[in-house]
Structure 1
Amino acid sequence: MNFFKGVSLVNIPRISSIGITQPVRYFSITSPIFARKTYDRYYKITKQLTSIDKRDYQPGQERPKYMSVPKEMPKFPRYDYETRFFKSQNRGLYGGLQRKSSKKCSEFLNKTLRSHKPNAVWTKLWSETLNKKLRLKVAVKVLKTISKEGGLDAYLLKSTPGRIKTMGLKAWQLRYELLQAQEQKERGTVTLSDDQVKPVTYIHSNGLKFHATKEELLDELHEAVQRDSYYPIKPIHFERRYSWWSTKQIVDKLEQYKWDFSKFAQ
């Protein structure tokens, strides 16, 4: 028997120290249907993003019919906040500023649509990491932010969620170039026997510093795989299997063949 079925909500009075009865609030377990929606601070930017397929495909998995495989590896990592509208924002530093629209109403109530673009100017900004000037189209508001941050490099390398969402595609690509340049400075350079200075491309766990490019290491790997195979391997088949490998994977594969690295590392 359900005892609470016949029990109804009763306003139980509460007696205070002064002697005045106060009503007690009712408790509800229902979800707030008409609760106010709380959007992200950058909701107007994130709601107009280009749709990106974030599924992780594994080698050997069946390729969907709608997906095309690019011929070359992308130069820059994927940017999750690329805008679909106002494409000029992807070619400069706009800081999330977008085009706005308004209506001009005449005396006879004739409405004329107007559009207002952000105030952006062409300027040259110095990059300490790249050691050169970059000619960019920058919004005036972003110029003030860059001077406040202490330079272009400090503006691009800031990793707060708001900066990542509002920097745009062009700034994302510049940020990647800065990070690559910083990693290259940390790896350093090597001096060869003919007094030629080359940048270090990879440092192995055993201490070897490789100065060969990825293409040169792939040529050596192709020769090693060809020696190990009874049948000839076509270049297109080799590129399809090994061209997307990282430098670490190529070096580890050459180690399995006991390859001589004297020409490519010190």
Structure 2
Amino acid sequence: MSTTAITRLPIVRRSPATLQYIDYRHKDHNADKPYFKPRFTFKSEDRKETFARSNFRNTDPLMPPYPYGKNHAFQEANFGLYGGTVLQSGNKISKGRNKGKTVRKWFPNVRVETLKSETLEVDFKLPVTARVLRTIRKCGGLDSYVMGTKPARIKELGLLGWKLRWLVMTSPKTLAKHEQERQELGLPESNSLRAAFEDSWNDEEKRAQFVAQQESAWEDLREAASRFENHALKNWVENGEKEPYNIPKLETLQRTSPSLLGLPEYLERVQLGAGGETALHASEKTEVARRGFRVGDEAIKKARARSTSIKEKGATRPQSKQQKSRTLRRKDSTAA
């Protein structure tokens, strides 16, 4: 490895997890309100206490994506604790003189309840079903409910519960509690959930562990490639093909290994400060996120130039022919 190389990693601004929560934002990115509006009564004051918070609107790129994805069949469940409940459809059978069937749906018993998080010290007003509310009371609170480890619990959390789980896990109280338990049990130190990769890479022991893990992964790839080659050649010969079959071999895996790639021994950590070069204004962030490309120096310059031009010119919509004729008539009347 090179000893003098100092590498700066690109800033992670979007991840698969952030793409899952795009619907949390309003279509108009400058609007200070979420795009989602449930079918039941949800006041703007209640929305400000939950969905308008910065930790809900802005997803942490380090948060892993929800393994079960969105609920496309019942999208309302993505913005509340519904416990995996979906719409139930069926027929309403009339037993009067006009016997027949009427297609209808059964909605879950949803209500807006105030749930307190002891770890975050925040009161959330969330859409929650009656069944999930009973489960929360049985578990002993919202934090214990979202921190459940069983697969069934994780499957019923949904996108909102998964984000609450991440916020509780990365809170200072939870991290301090886990650190105290780790010291009492005599366990080795582990990286924090929010620790930067640069801090782990600059440690020699952890860097050697990373390289060893990559070596084992590359060895598995070599074995899989050799098995594929033997399998393809065997089937090619058994089928009676006369022409030789040239298999494209993975030469990169055969020639090198992770320990020979010239990896740096030191990584410089990027600081996102208010006055730093990598810091962006809110308007620039929304513009860059709307465009959907990676944040770089050129993208930042274009976003700044676009925002200044819009401010100078004013956000005016193009006029139609009728509007242009009306404006000309007004000018003529004022001149006369």
TM-score w.r.t. length of structure 2: 0.36
Rg comparison, structure with higher value: 1
> Larger % of helix: which?
2
